Structure 1
Amino acid sequence: MDREQRGGPTTLGHDQRFFLKTQRRHEVQVLLTHLPRYVQHLQQHPHSLLARLLGVHSLRVAQGKKKYFIIMQSVFYPASRISERYDIKGCEVNRWVEPVPEDSPLVLVLKDLNFQGKIMKLGPQRSWLLHQMELDTAFLRELNILDYSLLMAFQLLHEDEKDQYSSLIFHMARSMQGAPNSGGAEGQNRRLLSDVPNAFHILDGPEQRYFLGLVDLTTVYGLRKRLEQLWKMLRYPGRTFSTVSPARYASRLCQWVEAHTE
């Protein structure tokens, strides 16, 4: 399955565990420049929502230009029972996707306006998610990055998985007894992980499993984006759009998650 995204097409592997995305040269340069700090952030916060970068590659087709691509772990894995997928930026301009009929073979990734009226019911794990969003978006703000997305997907839990969730919450409550806060060792904001593949990107609620991850981490708030922001302010007065300062972008996305969870 292929999906067109900013920066180039995204191709999922046959088991949908990994995805390959073409990148522009300057996007690759941004990734490589920030790679040491990215690794350091994951070491400091091992349960981060940042998508796991597995490789940056290039190839040259005969007599053609060099092509760049990255390989990352898919947030939406395992995908067999996922019912809805979303790409969230916390704004409204160009954030609607026309849904397809339920019997359609197409798999769409919907956007912010498609999520209106919905809520993620996380129970006791909500506080962990809100804090991790603050940690990860603060890191991206420090790198002067914007226009990233929070990928989300929903999957109804089976009865045995609901039992596992109840057990997980019980053990979480016991582990927190006597602890000064839920941040974990040295503020790492660790959590008890579900015993499932791709556990870093999976957060179980009482009724549904949520797949969550931050992706597209290559857009720098430089002169071009500043000019684009001024143009959008004139073009879309009173409306929210993706091109804003990294500080505003980070706080707005965190506010969106807080407003759409319970």
Structure 2
Amino acid sequence: LATPLPHPKKIGWTRGFTLWGGLRQQWKLLGLFEIDQQHEFYSLTCMMKEGLAAAVQNTAPTTDVSDDDFASEATLTHKDFTMKTYAGSVFASLRFSVGVTEQEYQRSLCSQSFYLQFISNSKSKADFFLTSHTDPRYRSAFKYFIVMQSVFYPNDRINARYDIKGCEVSRWTEPEPDRSNIIVVLKDLNFEGQYITLGECQCSWLLQQVQIDTHFLQQLNVLDYSLLLAHQPLHHDERLHNLSFASLIVRTKKSVATATDFPDFKAQNRRLLPNLKNPLHIIDGPDRRYFVGIIDIFTVYGFKKRLEHLWKTLRHPGRSFSTVSPRTYCRRLSQWVQEHTK
């Protein structure tokens, strides 16, 4: 979910056209495009809103999540499409655990405001839609989508963003000039020579959590996921608060427990959450605030990826690249975080 953006109805009519035009131009510089009636994804996003609104009304958080809840699938048929929701009560419980009510969730996703399309430099070619908070048809094929809070939220002071895979081939992005309004997500080689500086307690938590998460993804036989990382400078008063532990330590949450299919998975890695928006992805160090999360977790290491691994081995001898076995991918990303955190 994106940071709230101004809506044209909130701008005075006299100056509205000029200001709204300037805002849309600014969005384009950031890689954002409004999905209005002329946009190719307009019909799709309308169906998403209708389906999500119905799905929220039919799910509710539960205090005792079971294996059946994880395996549940709910299918709702609408006028022009059918929508299937996976593990609805589980995700409702996750939202509730971080203070997001189902009413807030529905308001954000299903309002009359247009979604925004984010044009990223991701090699996966996935479509990214952002809510603003306030005619092709897709009938012949399934289209899967996942709803998640943006790792980089709130983004008002973020001054660098990285997509980390723990390898070197194709892992450099040319930075934009200073004072450019264009947002570029940098990569592994851009981060060389830098560190995630957290301090002993937070550092220990991050290293263990990355090991837990990557081990879980290895068990699922997936690869090519990314560690999203961003940072922003802390203000003087925020650094003082962190030193005194006055506002940083507010509440404690458990990591998500695993299903019984993975008995060796560590189900808990407690940490103290900050009393901030998006607390799950935010970690404060002595001088910087870091935004951290793992995304793109749906690439399975099947026959096609095994062939790609063989081809890249021949093309890039002696160099590290993204398409490797899930075991190697898990170990390598954990090692990258360990080597770049202090």
Following superposition, the deviation at residue 2 of structure 1 comes to 2.6
Following superposition, the deviation at residue 11 of structure 1 comes to 3.2
Following superposition, the deviation at residue 12 of structure 1 comes to 5.0
Residue from 188, 197, 220 that aligns with 2:300: 220
Tell which structure's C-alpha radius of gyration is larger: 2
Instruction: Answer whether contact 1:60 1:67 (CA < 8 A) is retained.
Output: no
Alignment match, 1:235: 315
Alignment match, 2:113: none
- The C-alpha deviation readout for 1:14-38, integer Å capped at 9, x for no partner, is 559xxxxxxxxxxxxxxxxxxxxxx
Quick one: structure 1 residues 144 and 66, their matched pair in 2 at CA, closer, same or farther if it must change by over 3 Å? closer
Q: Distance in 2 between matches of 1:3 and 1:224?
A: 24
Residue from 106, 131, 151 that aligns with 1:75: 151
Greater Cα shift, 79-88 or 102-111: 102-111
* 1:162 and 2:242 correspond: no
The CA RMSD over aligned residues, in Å, is 2.5
**One-letter amino acid of the counterpart of residue 208, structure 1:** R
Q: Highest relative contact order (Cα 8 Å, sep 6+), 1 or 2?
A: 1
**One-letter amino acid of the counterpart of residue 85, structure 1:** R
Greater Cα shift, 236-245 or 63-72: 63-72
Alignment match, 2:290: 210
Alignment match, 2:125: 8
Alignment match, 1:147: 224
Q: Distance in 2 between matches of 1:259 and 1:62?
A: 45
* 1:190 and 2:305 correspond: no
Quick one: structure 1 residues 193 and 63, their matched pair in 2 at CA, closer, same or farther if it must change by over 3 Å? closer
Q: Which runs of 5+ in 1 are unaligned?
A: 17-58, 176-185
Alignment match, 2:57: none
* 1:132 and 2:209 correspond: yes
Alignment match, 2:170: 94
Instruction: Answer whether contact 1:168 1:194 (CA < 8 A) is retained.
Output: no
Percent identical residues: 53
Instruction: Answer whether contact 1:123 1:206 (CA < 8 A) is retained.
Output: yes
**One-letter amino acid of the counterpart of residue 11, structure 1:** F
Quick one: structure 1 residues 223 and 64, their matched pair in 2 at CA, closer, same or farther if it must change by over 3 Å? closer
Following superposition, the deviation at residue 201 of structure 1 comes to 0.3
Q: Which runs of 5+ in 2 are unaligned?
A: 1-117, 253-265
Q: Distance in 2 between matches of 1:171 and 1:154?
A: 17
SS of the equivalent of 2:155 reads coil
Quick one: structure 1 residues 213 and 62, their matched pair in 2 at CA, closer, same or farther if it must change by over 3 Å? closer
Residue from 241, 246, 249 that aligns with 2:329: 249
Instruction: Answer whether contact 1:2 1:9 (CA < 8 A) is retained.
Output: no
The number of residue pairs the alignment matches comes to 208
Following superposition, the deviation at residue 168 of structure 1 comes to 3.3
Following superposition, the deviation at residue 72 of structure 1 comes to 1.5
Q: Distance in 1 between matches of 2:167 and 2:138?
A: 42
SS of the equivalent of 1:150 reads strand
Following superposition, the deviation at residue 165 of structure 1 comes to 1.6
Q: When you count strand as a share of all residues, which structure comes out higher?
A: 1
Following superposition, the deviation at residue 169 of structure 1 comes to 9.1
Q: Distance in 2 between matches of 1:251 and 1:244?
A: 11
Q: Distance in 2 between matches of 1:132 and 1:98?
A: 30
SS of the equivalent of 1:134 reads helix
**One-letter amino acid of the counterpart of residue 173, structure 2:** V
Q: Distance in 1 between matches of 2:131 and 2:221?
A: 35
Alignment match, 2:281: 201
Greater Cα shift, 155-164 or 109-118: 155-164
SS of the equivalent of 2:120 reads strand
Give the alignment's TM-score, normalised by structure 2: 0.57
Instruction: Answer whether contact 2:241 2:248 (CA < 8 A) is retained.
Output: no
Instruction: Answer whether contact 1:168 1:192 (CA < 8 A) is retained.
Output: no
- The C-alpha deviation readout for 1:128-149, integer Å capped at 9, x for no partner, is 0000011000100000010000
Following superposition, the deviation at residue 70 of structure 1 comes to 2.5
Q: Distance in 2 between matches of 1:113 and 1:62?
A: 39
Following superposition, the deviation at residue 105 of structure 1 comes to 1.2
Quick one: structure 1 residues 234 and 123, their matched pair in 2 at CA, closer, same or farther if it must change by over 3 Å? same
SS of the equivalent of 2:245 reads helix
